[in-house]
Amino acid sequence: MSNQWGRFFLQSISSLLLVSSLTTVVQAQSATKLIPENAAEQKTALYFERIRQSPPQMLAFLRQMPKGGDLHNHLSGAIYAESYIQWASDRGLCVSQVTWIASEAPCEETAAQIPISKALTDQTLYNRLVNAWSMRFWQYSGQNGHDRFFETFSQFGAATDHQTGRMLAEAASQAAKSKVSYLELMLTPASKISRQVGEKAGWDGNFENSFNQLKKNNIDEAVTVGIQEIAAAEKEKNRLLQCETPQADPGCTVTIRYISQISRGAALERVFAQMVAGFMLANLPNSPFVGVNLVQPEDSLMARQNFSLQMQMLNYLHFKYPQAHITLHAGELFPGLVPPDDLTFHIRESVRTGHAERIGHGVAIMNEDQPYELLKELVRRNVLIEICLSSNETILGITGKRHPLATYLEYGVPVALATDDQGIARSDMSQEFLKAAEDQGLGYLQLKMMARNSLEYAFVSGESLWRDRRKFIPIVACEKGTTKPSQPCQQFLKQSEKARLQWQLEKAFQGFEAEYSVQP
């Protein structure tokens, strides 16, 4: 009798613990009203809550978790300083021992500069270069995070020249290790040509006249060269990763598309020329370039002075090249960084005038005029926010409850995690997921939702797998699960690259969660 009561007591305790754990999960996901879809997902979510007090265990879990896409990734900032040092050494570059700015070969050692190759045998020099070309130990640099971060680009800039293939190989390989299956990489195609054409064409304040002058001065050459450059870089990437060989790096399986960068802090003629080239590239059928984005500090003088005009440029080109997608850095600001008025309109104007389909960062959302109405507008327009937690912490000092991620989730604004500049930040996508869980309190279901969002809002071609992008309900042809697609589903997947990526992500989740379906 006592044994029966003992078993009953243990079963009761187990049931209470399960109910308690489920309550914890539901509370953790309450901002988006998520509930587990199946037993395997439920057990995976419960396991994640059980290890929440152990960041090392959470990181081990998250390293294996499928993450979908990284939609906000600057290629030059994605590379670790150690790689740049090796490449710069291979090319015989020098570096100033005062400014730590790399300079082109030929290199002669002087009192002011030293060959970067010496860093490979001098640990002290090597450490100084890594620190100068990244955010490692930036707290001891004597600079704030914002200035230290943006200065790194000018310091390692020469090391990136003619290295796009190597950079793509490293970015793709790292993405695969982080269980990222899709990348949208920001870079500047045919930068020299667009700059030269822009300077010849000039800017007279009239969109049509300036556009015609760019065409007259052969801005189309930037498009031709941009396609040729990326084709050559991808060929080199495939060679380095040994794609289509038995030794192929997992990075070979990562799908990559490109966003044309526009230097918002440059002179207007250069900005407009880069925009036109970027829109033309993204408007081409089957182009590897899918969209445009404005880069450089949003708080810089030229960016602030020309913000509204640049939105009007985007508006003009959006109607000329409707197939080109637009994602914009906006709201990467905080009170005190800029005058108060600059905090009140950047996100709204980026969406309304600039036609942004996605917003990068969006940290200053609650400083905008009528922020709650804007949040609702973002939901109506289906504008996704690219959340870059490590970047926001190091550059802006925004973390924890001061970050608006919880507010975006509460109002149902679609969000996805992104790395921004993982090489400079010394991070990767797994670390971003950990920060979301540890710093923002997100649970497994929310992280899974964000991974799904990353592909749903990606600028990859084709129709979505989901007929309901909020509840992730698949189209009728594919609603029977991911074990084996039906014939109609196979036909649909064949016609849509986006749906294929989403299907692969769901299969990856199914396999991942199966490991936790046997957890006690």
Residue labelled with tokens 């690219």 = 386
99 falls within a domain: yes
Q: Please tell me the distance from the alpha carbon of residue 470 to that of residue 248, in angstroms, as a whole number.
A: 36
- Note the pLDDT of residue 33: 58
pLDDT value, residue 32: 53
Residue 65: inside a domain, yes or no?
A: no
Distances (CA, A) of 125 to 113, 133, 139: 12, 12, 19
Do both 417 and 514 map to the same domain?
no
Q: Which class for 437: exposed (0-12), middle (13-18), buried (19 or more C-beta within 10 A)?
A: buried
Residues 131 and 228 grouped into a single domain: no
DSSP string covering 101-120, please?
-EEPSS----SSEEEGGGGG
Quickly list DSSP for 243-291.
TTSTT--GGGG-EEEEEEEEETTS-HHHHHHHHHHHHHHHHSTT-SEEE
pLDDT at 520: 59
The arrangement of strands across the sheet holding 325-330 comes to 68-74, 180-187, 255-263, 289-295, 325-330, 358-361, 384-387, 415-417
Determine contact, residues 52/106, Cβ cutoff 8 Å. Answer: no
- Is the same domain home to 290 and 429? yes
Residue 70 CA to residue 77 CA, distance in Å, equals 14
Does residue 244 share a domain with residue 181?
Answer: yes
Q: Is 16 within the bounds of a domain?
A: no
User: Total structural domains in the chain?
Assistant: 3
Q: Are residues 180 and 141 in the same domain?
A: no
Among 94, 127, 160, where does a domain finish?
160
Whether 88 and 186 share a structural domain: no
In a domain, residue 295? The reply is yes
Same domain, 307 and 437: yes
Among 443, 461, 479, the domain-final residue is: 461
In a domain, 64, yes or no: no
Together in a domain, 457 and 486: no
Residue 148 has, within 13 A of its CA and on its CB side, a CA count of: 23
Residue 474 sits in the same domain as residue 372: no
CATH number at residue 194: 3.20.20.140
Question: Residue 38's pLDDT is what?
Answer: 87
Helix, strand, coil share (%) of the chain residues, nearest 5: 55, 10, 30
Q: Residue 226 contacts by C-beta under 8 Å, 6 or more apart in sequence?
A: 189, 190, 260, 277, 281, 289
Report pLDDT for 30: 46
Task: Give CA–CA dist 214/317, Å, rounded.
Answer: 13
Same domain, 33 and 115: no
At residue 36, the 3 state secondary structure works out as: coil
| Phi and psi at residue 399, to the nearest 5° | -155, 175
Tokens 């006249």 label which residue? 209
Residue 14, in any domain of the structure: no
Last residue in a domain, options 412, 443, 461: 461
Q: What is the pLDDT along the chain (520 residues), one digit of tens a residue?
A: 444 444 433 344 343 344 444 444 444 444 455 777 789 999 999 999 999 999 999 999 999 999 999 999 999 999 999 999 999 999 999 999 999 999 987 788 888 899 999 999 999 999 999 999 999 999 999 999 999 999 999 999 999 999 999 999 999 999 999 999 999 999 999 999 999 999 999 999 999 999 999 999 999 999 999 999 999 999 999 999 999 999 999 999 999 999 999 999 999 999 999 999 999 999 999 999 999 999 999 999 999 999 999 999 999 999 999 999 999 999 999 999 999 999 999 999 999 999 999 999 999 999 999 999 999 999 999 999 999 999 999 999 999 999 999 999 999 999 999 999 999 999 999 999 999 999 999 999 999 999 999 999 999 999 999 999 999 999 999 987 767 899 999 999 999 999 999 999 999 999 999 998 776 5
Q: Are residues 152 and 193 in the same domain?
A: no
Are 330 and 424 contained in the same domain?
Answer: yes
On whether residue 60 sits in a domain, the answer given is: no
CA torsion sign for 472, 476, 478, 482 is positive
Range of the domain at 125: 82-160
Q: Is residue 6 part of a domain?
A: no
